[in-house]
Homo-oligomer: A and B are copies of this chain.
């Protein structure tokens, strides 16, 4: 029998087994069209039906209000780093960025190509959580306030929607915790995320934008990043990444069947707690330096070895884990250590296997 694999990759990441089986079965004949979803013309009636159905499940799961548009774009989160200012900064030429990790930092740097960026929280060398609200400084002229809901690399997550000045649109990168919990969309001007963590495979970016924010792109905005044009054309200005949209739809249908947003949140809390508890009860053998209130439910980042981490021991940890089928646990090269990504497709059982491994590894290697 083949070894059971638990794949804790930060993205591209695990897709539910049921969804993979379903996508495989439908690959050659999509929904009785006689052709593959990869072949189906994006100008056909069958395709329009497919897009409507996919949008409907997005709207249903997140209770998207009627005055928001749902867009399927290309270019991933990195594409949105440019698209956001190119479409939204022209009102005042300025924007507020709440930088709490590597991804929001990258987004702020990209935005500075297109306008003036105000850093709401003081720059730090290391990211260890969401700084106290009392330390934030907003620019009263900002066209929008931007933040990243979950910093995949550092393992820092906002567990509440940040309070920002009234009337200023809030923009959020949800790439790594999209559809992992209920979201009050009405609090946002724009939400976006790449699909390859919680909602499918790489190649499609899901954007949800409040209608009144359309219509003001900078003249230099490339058409493929223009929300107004994409919205007018129902995401079919150019050929959309059909297959990736299909997988996204199948993943979300699975999420709905499993119980929707509340159930995904319950599981995420449970799974991350299983790992954080082992870290916290390891007498320093495992360590996580993120403020407890900002610890990510999606990406549990930790070091192995007393005194804040030992690279030799971490190498051994990764090797032994891999030997047991616990894969893709290496931390991002910029922070080192270990990272267990616990997206929706990671089961309680996968997490239990990792927890057991961590307990045994500590017993065998503690000083």
Contact = CB atoms under 8 A, between A and B. Distances in A.
* Number of copies of this protein chain within its complex: 2
Contacts of A77: 238
Interface in A283-309: none
Interface string A203-233: 1100000000000000110111100000000
Contacts of A20: 27-28, 36, 38
Nearest to A81: B223
A39 B345 CA distance: 11
A360 interface: no
B241 A39 contact: no
A247 B38 CA distance: 10
Contact of A76 (B44, B79, B81, B239): B239
Interface stretch (A10-18, A94-102, A270-278): A10-18
Nearest to A110: B223
A78 interface: yes
Interface of A: 2-3, 5, 7, 9-15, 20-21, 23-24, 27-28, 34-36, 38-44, 74-79, 81-83, 86, 110, 113-114, 194, 196, 200-204, 219-220, 222-225, 237-244, 247, 325, 327-328, 333
A82 B222 contact: yes
Contacts of A237: 78
B41 A78 contact: no
18 contacts: A7-B39, A9-B39, A9-B41, A12-B39, A12-B42, A15-B38, A20-B27, A27-B27, A38-B201, A39-B201, A44-B328, A77-B238, A78-B238, A113-B219, A194-B239, A202-B240, A203-B242, A222-B222
- Tell me which of A21, A23, A83 has the highest count of chain B C-beta atoms within 10 A of its own C-beta: A23
Given A42-B202, A74-B203, 20 more contacts: A2-B34, A5-B35, A7-B34, A10-B41, A15-B38, A15-B39, A35-B327, A38-B202, A43-B333, A75-B79, A75-B224, A82-B222, A82-B223, A83-B222, A86-B222, A110-B222, A113-B222, A201-B243, A203-B241, A243-B247
Nearest to A26: B24
A173 B78 CA distance: 24
- Tell me which of A15, A110, A223, A243 has the highest count of chain B C-beta atoms within 10 A of its own C-beta: A243
A237 B77 CA distance: 12
